[in-house]
């Protein structure tokens, strides 16, 4: 008889950056955390310090990598950097303020605020492409950490499409999910993955 093994995935969005705070779309730009972002990452690190975390996987972009490094310190763990955890490639939107995007691509912007699941960023990636690579890396992390706890540090789009995957629904729910900077979502996998905690930021409260 097979013994049921439970794997826990701690899904983390990186800490705040100046672009996040200012309403700019970052995509693949390599901005580091701002001062508040470092504080957020340290607070989350303190929260996770006593957990038996076996491994930490991160996007290569600096804002995620820095967050992951801070989370890894109490556990004396190295980081596994995975390109599939990189944020969506925004193409022509990268580095622009939301007001400029709204002005230049009014229809695309409107759709992105309602249901972006069918969109392809102008000269960038589609949500379908992002979802495929996010699910691929999610399954790999589960397989590599059977019966253990692992942390994935990544970006808003990756977190949201993974949450939709775990819930067994389409990305049309994208705008109904809030995923804040340095938030923690927890997924437990035995047979089917289960969302146990969503967008928890209690560690950031003063």
| Active centre residues (catalytic) | 14, 87
Cα gap 54→196, rounded to integer Å: 19
Largest CA-CA distance found in the chain, in angstroms, rounded: 61
Cα 116 to Cα 38, 45, 178: the distances in Å are 30, 32, 15
Cα gap 182→38, rounded to integer Å: 10
Look-up: residue for tokens 């700019």? 24
Which residues in 47-68 are b (16+ Cβ under 10 Å) and which e? bbeeeebbbbbbbebebbbbbb
What DSSP line would sit under 97-144, residue for residue? BHHHHHHH-HHHHHHHHH-GGG-B-TTS-BHHHHHHHHHHHHHHHHHH
Cα gap 160→175, rounded to integer Å: 9
Cα gap 174→170, rounded to integer Å: 8
């Amino acid at each position: 008889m097979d013994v049921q093994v439970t794997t826990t995935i701690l899904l983390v969005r990186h800490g705040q950056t100046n672009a996040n705070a200012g309403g700019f779309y970052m995509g693949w730009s390599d901005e580091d955390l701002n001062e508040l972002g470092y504080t957020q990452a340290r607070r989350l690190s303190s929260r996770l310090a006593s957990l038996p975390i076996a491994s930490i996987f991160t996007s290569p972009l600096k804002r995620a990598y820095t967050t992951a490094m801070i989370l890894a310190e109490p556990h004396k763990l190295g980081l596994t950097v995975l390109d599939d955890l990189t944020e969506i490639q925004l193409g022509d939107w990268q580095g622009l303020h939301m007001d400029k995007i709204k002005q230049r691509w009014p229809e695309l912007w409107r759709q992105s605020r309602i249901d972006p699941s069918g969109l392809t960023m102008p000269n960038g990636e589609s949500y379908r492409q992002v979802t495929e690579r996010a699910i691929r890396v999610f399954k790999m992390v589960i397989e590599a950490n059977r019966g253990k706890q692992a942390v994935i540090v990544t970006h808003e789009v990756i977190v949201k499409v993974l949450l939709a995957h775990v819930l067994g629904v389409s990305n049309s729910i994208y705008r109904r999910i809030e995923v804040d900077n340095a938030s923690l979502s927890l997924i437990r996998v035995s047979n089917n993955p289960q969302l146990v905690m969503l967008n928890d930021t209690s560690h950031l409260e003063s």
